[in-house]
Amino acid sequence: AQSVTQPDIHITVSEGASLELRCNYSYGATPYLFWYVQSPGQGLQLLLKYFSGDTLVQGIKGFEAEFKRSQSSFNLRKPSVHWSDAAEYFCAVDTPLPFGNTGKLIFGQGTTLQVKP
């Protein structure tokens, strides 16, 4: 069965510092990969996705992620973190099938980002 691992439950970075959130998946082929952000009391907002092509994808709010097939990873990065980035971040995958994806997103446990002034 597919699984998604976010090894870091909680990360603290200083404002202006760079950020990398890790995501590893287990699946034989290349899945569709997503990063979502959830601010306190809010729903899930899509930051970016990857399904094919250039392995470095750009998203909203200055985030990017790199797909590395050899490492089964899809890590999220931001060069300079802002205090408003404090939130919970979820990596998710879906299985591509010939007729389309399953529609069943499998989520990681989430990483809580705290930003120090």
| Number of residues engaging another protein in binding (CB under 8 A) | 26
Least separation in angstroms between residue 95's CB and another protein is: 10
11 binds another protein (CB under 8 A): no
How many angstroms separate the CA atoms of 117 and 112, rounded?
Answer: 16
Nearest CA to 89 among 112, 63, 106? 112
- Coil, strand or helix: which one is 48? strand
Nearer to another protein, 81 or 110 (CB): 110
Alpha-carbon distance 35 to 44, whole Å? 10
When asked if residue 105 is in the footprint of another protein (CB under 8 A), the reply is yes
Our finding on whether 27 is near another protein (CB under 8 A) is no
Binding-residue pattern over the window 81 to 100 for another protein, x denoting contact by CB under 8 A: ---------x-x-x-x--xx
Asked if 102 contacts 46 with a C-beta cutoff of 8 angstroms, the reply is: no
* Residue 67 is a binding residue for another protein (CB under 8 A): no
Strand-pair category, 111-116 with 106-107: unpaired
Q: Does 80 bind another protein (CB under 8 A)?
A: no
SS3 102: coil
Contact set with another protein (CB under 8 A): 32, 34, 36, 42-46, 49, 51, 90, 92, 94, 96, 99-110
